[in-house]
Amino acid sequence: MAVGFVRSEVSGLDAPRHAVAVQRHAGSLGYRYAYTVRPPQDIPDQIGYALGIAAGLGVAAIVVYDLAHVDNRPARVCEDFDLETVCPATTWARVAHSATTEAEVAR
């Protein structure tokens, strides 16, 4: 399952077109599309807002039109989700977390 993320201050007048492109791209990748996150403009951390909704829905991926929607920082999203971009069509894979125990860290 995936959510889309469209920031109006990034997309501007193209926001409706970007939202459709994001949804279509998710479908073309085989994701069941859950929702398009469009944070209010007065939210200071719009990326964090989207990450919270994605976590609450338990999705595997967040789909954006381009990296500008995540402030050109895919690593922030990839801590917990795959990131898919429409333009260019790219998959940014989630970070693999190791199951390191405290005893292993202490060595």
Q: Supply the CATH number for residue 53's domain.
A: 3.40.50.1390
* 50 or 98, which is more confident: 50
How many domains, in total, are found in the chain?
Answer: 1
Burial class (CB in 10 A: 0-12, 13-18, 19+), 9: exposed
Q: Is the pLDDT of residue 104 over 50?
A: no
pLDDT in tens, 77-91: 999 999 999 999 999
Per the structure, the complete domain to which residue 83 belongs is given by 2-106
Predicted TM-score (pTM) of this structure: 0.88
Rounded Cα distance between 42 and 38, Å, is 12
Q: Which residue has the higher pLDDT, 46 or 99?
A: 46
> What are the structure tokens assigned to 103, written together?
């005893």
